[in-house]
Structure 1
Amino acid sequence: MRASHEHPKDGLRLHSTNFEAVKNHLSELLKDGKTYRLNISFWRERRSLPQNSLSHVWYEEISQYLVSRGRTFADEKWVKRAMKHSFLGYEDIESMDVVTGEITVTQELKHTSKLTTGDMHHYLSKVESWAQSIGCLLTVPDNCEYRELQRKQEE
Structure 2
Amino acid sequence: MSDTVTLFNLSQVPAFIKSLTERGFPLRVRVMKARRSLDQNALFHMWCEEAAQFFVAMGKTHFASGAPMNKENVKANLKATFLGTEPREYIDLTTGEVRIQEEVRHTADLDKGEMCAFLTCIDRWAQEYGIPLTHPADSEYAQYMREQGEVA
Task: Tell me: CA distance 1:148–1:63, structure 2 relative to 1, closer, same or farther (3 Å).
Answer: same
Moved more, 64-73 or 112-121: 64-73
TM-score (norm. length: structure 1): 0.80
Q: CA deviation at 1:38?
A: 4.0
Corresponding position: 1:59 with 2:54: no
Task: Tell me: CA distance 1:40–1:28, structure 2 relative to 1, closer, same or farther (3 Å).
Answer: closer
Q: Give, as a single letter, the amino acid of the residue that structure 1 aligns with 2:78.
A: M
Report what 1:3 is aligned to: none
Q: What is the correspondence of 1:4-153 to structure 2 with a 5 Å cutoff?
A: 11-13=6-8, 18=10, 22=13, 24-30=14-20, 33-35=22-24, 38-73=27-62, 74-153=69-148
Q: CA deviation at 1:11?
A: 1.7
Point out where structure 1 has 5 or more consecutive residues left out of the alignment.
Answer: 1-8
Residue 141 of structure 1 contacts residue 147 of structure 1 at CA under 8 Å; is this kept in 2?
Answer: yes
What count of residue pairs does the alignment treat as equivalent?
141
C-alpha separation in 1, matches of 2:51 and 2:117? 18
CA RMSD in angstroms comes to: 2.4
Task: Tell me: CA distance 1:13–1:69, structure 2 relative to 1, closer, same or farther (3 Å).
Answer: same
Runs of 4+ residues over 6 Å off in structure 1: none
Residue 13 of structure 1 contacts residue 43 of structure 1 at CA under 8 Å; is this kept in 2?
Answer: no
C-alpha separation in 1, matches of 2:51 and 2:32? 33
Partner-residue secondary structure (3-state), 2:28? coil
Q: Percent identity?
A: 35
C-alpha separation in 1, matches of 2:44 and 2:100? 29
Q: Give, as a single letter, the amino acid of the residue that structure 1 aligns with 2:47.
A: W
Task: Tell me: CA distance 1:114–1:120, structure 2 relative to 1, closer, same or farther (3 Å).
Answer: same
Q: CA deviation at 1:25?
A: 1.9
C-alpha separation in 2, matches of 1:87 and 1:141? 22
